[in-house]
Structure formats: C-alpha cells, structure tokens
Structure 1
Amino acid sequence: MPAGGARRALVLLVDVALPLAAYYGLRALGVGSRPALIASALVPVVSAAVQFGRRRHLDPMAAFVTAVMLLGLVASLVSGSTRVILARDGWVTALAGVWFLGSVRARRPLVFEGARPLLEGRFRSDGTSWDVLWERSPQFRRIWRVSTVIWAAAMVADGAVRVVAAYTLPVDEVPLLNALLWPVTLVLLQVVNGVYYEIAGLWRITRPPPQTGWRCVGVPGS
C-alpha cells in the first residue's frame, strides 16, 4: 500500500474505530453515556495534537474537524446535553460538505487535491502532470469541479442523517450508526464518482489513446 494510503487508513482507524471502542468500552464499565461520549470525542483531538507535535503542521481538513469538535464539546458542556455531543459528527460532516462546495470555484477544488496523490501518474495515466492537464483542458477542470459538488452534496446529506439520528434514536445506538455511515457514504461516493469519471471521459484525458494515422506507401514508378 502506498504511504499516503497507509496514512489515511491509520487516520480512519484513529478517528472512527478508536472513539467507537472507547465509548462502548466505557459504557461496558458502567460509565454514563455523557462522560463516555466526551471521552471518546477527545480521541480525534488528541490525534490531531500528536500530528501537530510530530510535524509542526496540521492539514486544513484536520484543523477544521478538530476546531468543530472542540466547539461541539464546549457547547455540550455548556448546555449539558448528551444529544448535542451526539449531533457533533453530523454538524462536522455537513460543514465539511459546505467547505467542499465553497472550494468549487477556488484555484483547485478539494476533491482534485485529495485525489491527486492517489491517482496522478499511477492510475490510467500517460504520465502527464495534472497541472498541465488543468491548464490546457476545460473538460478536466469541469470534471473535478462537478466531482467536488457530488462530494459536497453527499457529505451534507450524510450530516443531516447523523443530526436527525442524534435527536431521535436511543443514545447508545447513535455512535454505532455514525461509525457505520462512514463506509456506506464512502463506498457510494466511490461508485458514483467512478461512473461519472467514465461517462465524463476523465481517463481519456489522463491517458489518451495512441495517435494513429495513414502511412503513405510509395507506389513503384510514381
């Protein structure tokens, strides 16, 4: 697995699996739902702090998610509401979707930046730099802007489901639902985007067919 993929898998483990294990582990020990939720919510924050301490750098998405989580924790402590903590993941996801949407008209949309380390020069590519493709192909630019809109819509919808679940389902069911929604949303996004890339012709741009032409054959006596 490429280093970038391994790093993303580790982040997913820390930010999704460990908080879930922490919550249900504490509940099994008899800890109340609100303290268990607060403790589990601190896991991604600690992860972000460790990342910053090691690299002296925090990528924008991690900084955004950490800031929203901290705000959610403060709001829950002030309000005293367990439901506010449960809804935190939904608000984080929905706000991230709005951020993705806002990047559509930026110099480079977020999905382009996220896909580039995984695909550029590796998957169905003739080796042409994506910077070159971005500058010379309006179709290439449009594909990544539309893909970013798809991601934004999916994240807002995912966030809305999480918020509704946080205020309607039994408290102990919500953390599990939140964890299960991530793979469902990501798989659907991969399928929808994969179909869109084929239809829109992304791979014809990154790996165009070889040029063919007529070869002149000399005619004896001509």
Structure 2
Amino acid sequence: MTFRSLLRVLGEAVVLPLATFAILSAARVPEVWALVGSAMTSILVVAGRYRRTGTVSTLGLIMLARFAAGLAVALGTGDATLTLAKDPAFTALVACGALGTLFAGLPLTARIRRELAAHPAAFDELWRDGPGYRRLHRRLTVLWAAGLLLESAAGFAIVYTVDFTGAVVLTRLLGPGVLIALSAWTAYRDADAVRDRVTVAAPRPSTSDPMPERG
C-alpha cells in the first residue's frame, strides 16, 4: 500500500465519517441519526469509485451491506448503542463469509487481488497454474477471518465499555487500522509469491562452454 493510497483510505474511512458525525452532533441531530449520517459517507465513496471504474468491488459491496444493516437497526430500534454495535456484529459475519469463500472458486483475498489486478488474465493464469499461490491465498483468507473476528471482539468491548462519542471514534479507527494491516501483509506476501514464481519460471543461462568450432 502506497502512502498516497493510505491517506485516501484514512480520509474515506476515518476523517470523512468522523467529521460528518461531529457536524451532525453539533447540529443537535439525535445520536442514532448522526451515526447513520456518518455511515452514509460510505455510499459516497462507493458511488465515486463506481463513477471512475464502472464496477462495484467486493469491498464496496461489503460497505453497502454494512450501511444497509445499520440503517435497518436504526429504523427498527432507534437505539444508538445498538446501531453502533451493529459494526462489530457485521464484521463477525464478514469473517464467517470469508471462511465460506474457501469453498468457493476464489477465496476472499484472491477475489480482492483479482479485482485490483491491472491484468486480470495474468492473475487467472497464475491462479490456475500455481498451486502454491492458491495455498497462499487460502491461508491469507484464514488470516483475514481471524483478524476480523479479533476486531469484532474488540469492537464489542469498546461499544459497551466506553462512552458513546469515544466509542464512535475508537471503532472508526479500529476498523480501518485492521484493514490496512491485513491489506499491507496480503500485498507483501502476494508480491513475494509472484516474484518467486517469475524467478523460477525465468530461463536459466547455460553454464556449459560452447562447443569449439571445427576447422
């Protein structure tokens, strides 16, 4: 992950929603709806990416589903704490879904990697012909599931032990922090595996002496 992309993630996932929450709270909007309003920034992020690329990524779909779940809880209960607790609950569901992708065509991390690939056909070839590469992404997907479950447990602890505003801030920092860490490690291991495969596939120069020319 480059420094520029890191700044973009922090802006979209931390600064923008927290600033929206602060503005709505200052305007005396009820906590539950200030929370929903801050989550609506995810719609803007996904819409912006769709406008640029014409597609909605797997992570984009997760963001939309998370917002829909939060809106449903807010409308159904009107309880700000339950609406905030929806985030760690949804994260746990995503972790279970990630484990489920191990039995699908592409595990979660491979699916995301393919969506980000400049040349998806090259990824498809690597996936088809590289059993070690497939094993790597299955292990990485298990790692993501474990990391998301730990994030979920920490999120629940924050929601129910910290004051509401503090919990909003901490959970907004927790989620992107975990995502950045998992994404960075995945990108490192993926690039390392691709580099090793290219090295193995490269033709080795001949070390034998050329045959002497016959006069």
Normalised by the size of structure 1, how large is the TM-score? 0.74
Q: Give the superposition deviation at 1:108.
A: 1.8
Which sections of structure 2, spanning at least 5 residues, go unmatched?
none
Q: Render the CA deviation track for 1:173-218: whole Å, top value 9, x for unaligned.
A: 01211222134313432564467558x8553114436514432344
- The answer as to whether partners of 2:58 and 2:112 remain within 8 angstroms in 1 is no
Q: Which residue of 2 aligns with 1:132?
A: 125
Per the TM alignment, residue 100 of structure 1 is displaced from its structure 2 partner at its CA by 1.8
Task: Give, in whole Å, the separation in 1 of the partners of 2:193 and 2:45.
Answer: 39
AA of the residue aligned to 1:211:
R
Counterparts of 2:54 and 2:184, CA distance in 1:
36
Task: Give the length in aligned residue pairs.
Answer: 212
Q: Among 7, 21, 26, which residue is 2:24 paired with?
A: 26
The 10-residue stretch of structure 1 (98-107 or 50-59) with the greater mean CA deviation from structure 2 = 50-59
1:111 aligns with 109
* 2:103 aligned counterpart, secondary structure: coil
Q: Root-mean-square deviation (CA), in Å?
A: 3.7
Distance 1:197 1:132, change over 3 A: closer
More helix by share: 2
Provide the secondary structure at the position in 2 that maps to 1:214: coil
Q: Deviations over 1:53-83 (max 9, x none)?
A: 8877544442343234223322233223211
Tell me whether 1:170 sits opposite 2:168 in the alignment: no
Distance 1:142 1:21, change over 3 A: same
SS at match of 2:144: helix
The 2-side partners of 1:47 and 1:119 are apart by: 20
Q: Given the two structures, how large is their TM-score scaled by the length of structure 2?
A: 0.76
CA contact (8 A) 1:143 1:202 kept: no
- The 1-side partners of 2:41 and 2:184 are apart by 30
Aligned to 2:22, the other structure's residue is in SS state: helix
Determine which of 141, 150, 158 is the counterpart of 1:148.
141
Conservation of the 8 A alpha-carbon contact between 2:31 and 2:80: yes
2:73 equivalent in structure 1? 75
CA distance in 2, matches of 1:91, 1:65: 14
Distance across 2 between alignment mates of 1:65 and 1:89:
11
Query: How many angstroms apart in 2 are the aligned matches of 1:201 and 1:52?
Result: 30
In structure 1, the gaps of 5 or more residues are: 122-127
